[in-house]
């Protein structure tokens, strides 16, 4: 591996010395590195003629063989949307809180990075979703998400009606505060908070979870990821928003269609060689503690 990108969470001061450490380490290995310009400008001057390649975040995936992400799950989600079509693996280093996706700890970073540079690593391919908004048959927006696409009512809105079908077969009309369409990776995010199941991240499926359904028998349902899910907004005069990975938003109108299906390309996440997914669940969700 000869070209590595470095992206860090904005306004995270502790990332600056860590990036400096990475740069010196990579330089000794004769590896080219590309740093997000907005972060790189905060770095101090380096001795020994080390030259910084500062480029825009959007340009990094096309130039590298791997991206190191320093931050929390939110930072990794934003990077995942950029790297998808390039199939560049992501090494997520946790500088945040919970960190289901950024599972590499600071203590492990040097050892894991050595293994990755030598090609000794395993990358999980995670299912991503493509979510499109159709209005009068015309595509108004198109998004790629790693966690979830969420249809949610505004703060003052009443229950909304969401007519849902799978591959053209009518499922039901959810009367609820909203609907979560989640990947297995996103099953431990909003889906879990709304009472949805935890799904092993390498499984190929999509989770449909109603948010506070008016009918208590409306429960989450897991479907194969080779289907197309269409959700039609059947409520008028309400503020309804489509939210993508909790980071992008699109305002919906009456009879807008949200069409969700598996993306053609998945997201490659480099696994920690020091812990299994079940250990991660126990650690993050405090299972077994009293």
Strands across the sheet with 267-270, in order?
Answer: 53-55, 32-36, 3-8, 66-71, 90-94, 267-270, 123-126
As a dihedral over the C-alpha atoms of residue 56, residue 61, residue 64, residue 69, rounded to 10 degrees, the angle is 80
Q: Looking at 73, 148, 177, 256, which residue is catalytic?
A: 73
Looking up tokens 């591959």 gives 167
How far is 256 from 233, CA to CA, in rounded Å?
A: 6
Q: Which DSSP helix (H) or strand (E) runs through 192?
A: helix 190-193
> What's the token pair of residue 222?
């897991």
Q: What CA–CA distances, in Å, run from 251 to 67, 77, 153, 190, 286?
A: 32, 21, 10, 19, 36
Q: Is 13 exposed, middle or buried (0-12, 13-18, 19+ CB in 10 A)?
A: exposed
Q: 43 Cβ partners below 8 Å, 6+ apart?
A: 16, 19, 20, 23, 35, 52
Q: Which DSSP helix (H) or strand (E) runs through 206?
A: strand 205-211
Is 161 in the active site? no
Quote the crossing angle between the two packed helices 109-117 and 15-28, to the nearest 10°. 40
How far is 78 from 245, CA to CA, in rounded Å?
A: 8
Active site residues per annotation: 73
């Amino acid at each position: 591996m000869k070209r590595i990108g470095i992206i860090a969470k904005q306004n995270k001061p502790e990332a600056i010395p860590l990036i400096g450490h990475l740069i010196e380490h990579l330089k000794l290995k004769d590896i080219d590195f590309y740093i997000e310009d907005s972060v790189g400008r905060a770095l101090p001057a380096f001795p020994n003629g080390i030259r910084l390649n500062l480029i825009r975040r959007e340009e990094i995936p096309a130039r590298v063989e791997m991206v190191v992400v320093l931050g929390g799950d939110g930072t990794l989600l934003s990077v995942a949307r950029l790297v998808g079509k390039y199939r560049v693996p992501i090494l997520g280093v946790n500088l945040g809180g919970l960190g289901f996706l950024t599972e590499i700890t600071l203590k492990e970073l040097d050892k894991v990075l050595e293994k990755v540079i030598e090609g000794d690593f395993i990358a999980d391919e995670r299912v991503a979703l493509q979510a499109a908004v159709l209005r009068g048959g015309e595509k108004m927006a198109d998004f790629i998400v790693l966690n979830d696409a969420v249809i949610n009512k505004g703060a003052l809105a009443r229950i909304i009606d969401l007519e849902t079908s799978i591959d053209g077969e009518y499922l039901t009309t959810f009367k609820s505060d909203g609907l979560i369409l989640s990947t297995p990776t996103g099953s431990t995010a909003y889906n879990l908070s709304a009472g949805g199941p935890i799904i092993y991240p390498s499984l190929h499926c999509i989770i449909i979870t109603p948010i506070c359904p008016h009918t208590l028998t409306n429960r989450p349902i897991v479907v194969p990821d080779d289907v197309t899910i269409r959700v039609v907004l059947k409520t008028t005069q309400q503020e309804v928003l489509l939210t993508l990975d909790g980071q992008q938003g699109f305002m919906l109108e009456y009879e807008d269609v949200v069409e969700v299906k598996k993306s053609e390309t998945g997201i490659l996440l480099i696994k920690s060689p020091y812990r299994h997914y079940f250990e991660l669940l126990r650690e993050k969700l405090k299972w077994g503690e009293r």
